[in-house]
Amino acid sequence: MNIMLVSVTERTREIGIRMSVGARRRDIMNQFLIEALFLCLLGGVIGLLLGVLVGWLMVGVVVGFVVGASASGQLPLVITPATLILPFAVSAGVGIIFGLYPAIRASRLDPIVALHRAR
């Protein structure tokens, strides 16, 4: 949320220009919501890949050292559909929940005040 609030503050002039040429509140709000959602989904992808990599290392390397090299092939790495869907669902929820306030704040800016304040 803090990153998106800083983004709204830094882009006050852009918001004022877009609103003065005809962008509706809904357009501004959608822009910031989509941006927050994209950032969170990107974090979800990175977290998913990192989680699969750590899981693969735990199964292949650590279990091989602890149990023995012969037993490491007997313990498979199981990736279920829930394992793939859950990071995206959580990331999307976080993006929408914590992106909503900055998006509403950006959409409520008065174009004249936004252009004046951004100098």
How confident is the model over 58-113, as pLDDT tens digits? 887 777 777 665 555 567 788 899 988 988 899 999 999 999 999 999 999 998 88
Q: What is the pLDDT of residues 1-31, one digit of tens each?
A: 888 889 888 999 999 999 999 999 999 999 9
Tell me whether residue 96 is exposed, middle or buried, using C-beta atoms within 10 angstroms of its C-beta: 0 to 12, 13 to 18, 19 or more.
middle
Residues near 99 by Cβ (< 8 Å), separated by ≥ 6?
1, 4, 32, 33, 35, 36, 37, 40
For residue 71, the model assigns a pLDDT of 54
* pLDDT for the residue numbered 107: 92
Amino acid type, 58: M
pLDDT category at 43 given cuts 50, 70, 90 is very high
pLDDT at 32: 93
